[in-house]
Amino acid sequence: MVCRIAIIGDGAWATVCGVMLSENGNAVRIWSPFPQAAEDLRRTRQNGRYLPGVRLPDEIEVTGEDDCAMKDADIVLHAVPAQYARGVWRRLAGRYRPGTPICSVVKGVENRTLLRPTQVLADVLGTATGPLAALSGPSIAPEVAQKLPATVTVASDDQAFAETIQARISRPYFRVYTNSDLPGVELAGATKNVVAIAAGILDGLSAGSNAKAALLTRGLVEITRLGLAMGAKAETFAGLAGMGDLVTTCISPLGRNRSFGEAVGRGATVEQAVKSFAPAVVEGVATAASVVELADKMHIEMPITRAVYDVVFAGRSSKTAIVELMTRPLKAEGC
């Protein structure tokens, strides 16, 4: 049976997911919030702004019309950057059919509310909200678009919905596991972007492989610490959504968060580095502010995250931040 899937968003990952879902015989519609961008994508069958060189199958419908965004959809895929999601879903809420399941592929924590992507959806849609899921893991979009092997996880409180997403989007080159820890998968996907900025800063400073290995290890410790305080499971952070995604994001030359950090480490201002990636969004920048606020709220020590925040928002130099991390009071490794 053909499944009708509406993708809300027009970024690189929305495009890749659309291709995979279409390859599996699903009826796919991609909605862009920008009518001209939708027209360009429909005409050229290529996402020139976010994923040039990747052809969109002719079977995929593209629209910029709000009324058509989720019309007759059996499943909705949420692919709008975290800090813009609330505005988009307020705009589309009247077109959402109550109870329609939604899978988020977004990584971030909303500023001020400190809500995860699926929590933002539930907050906007209220009692109309259907089953929610989050797909996350080591999956750099340009690599998946080239059909290079990737493995991710889909988490939901509704096991049947997780299995539905698993079946609908899995490809020979894209393996999907299920997971019951929705908070953990979303928190892991958000917080690893902040650590990736720190990894990029190290690269920009030519700090070496030893420093990178230590950063990843201790970064995983602190994001796990936050996750546990918020009710997530420790094993999630040792899995694909945690350690797996952290490694990819911190080492890949294609990762925006790492590349942003590298630019800052080499001397670019935060504003210059952010602008160089436009119109793409460096999610870890806004997420750093949210995670620091969460850490304060939960009384959790997160020195790497706070160092990134200080560089990005408080004007501290990258070198000073590294020195301060290295000269913190000595302690046992388990702390």
pLDDT, tens digit, 9 for 90 and up, residues 285-303: 999 999 999 999 999 999 9
Element housing 17 (H / E):
helix 12-23
CA atoms of 268 and 283, how far apart (whole Å): 18
The percentage of residues in the chain with a pLDDT greater than 70, rounded to a whole number, is 100
Q: Is the pLDDT of residue 48 over 70?
A: yes
pTM for the whole thing?
Answer: 0.95
Domains and CATH numbers, the chain: 4-180 (3.40.50.720), 183-326 (1.10.1040.10)
Say what the pLDDT of residue 186 is: 98
In DSSP terms, 320 is beta-bridged to: none
Supply the pLDDT for residue 145. Answer: 97
- For the question of residue 192 being annotated catalytic, the response is yes
78 Rama sector, left if φ>0, alpha if ψ -120 to 50, beta otherwise: beta
Beta strands at 150-156 and 132-136: parallel, antiparallel or unpaired: antiparallel
Residue 232 confidence (pLDDT): 98
pLDDT greater than 80 at residue 334: no
What are the pLDDT digits (tens) for 69-107?
999 999 999 999 999 999 999 999 999 999 999 999 999
- pLDDT value of position 335: 67
Instruction: Say which of 71, 107, 147, 192 is annotated catalytic.
Output: 192
Q: Any bridge partners for residue 30, and if so which?
A: 7, 62
Residue 99: partners with Cβ closer than 8 Å, 6 or more residues away = 128, 130
Q: Phi and psi of 62, rounded to 5°?
A: -125, 135
Q: What is the CA radius of gyration of the chain?
A: 19
Length of the chain: 335
Does position 175 have pLDDT exceeding 90, yes or no? yes
Model confidence pLDDT, tens digit, residues 211-270: 999 999 999 999 999 999 999 999 999 999 999 999 999 999 999 999 999 999 999 999
Specify whether the CB–CB gap between 278 and 272 falls below 8 A: no
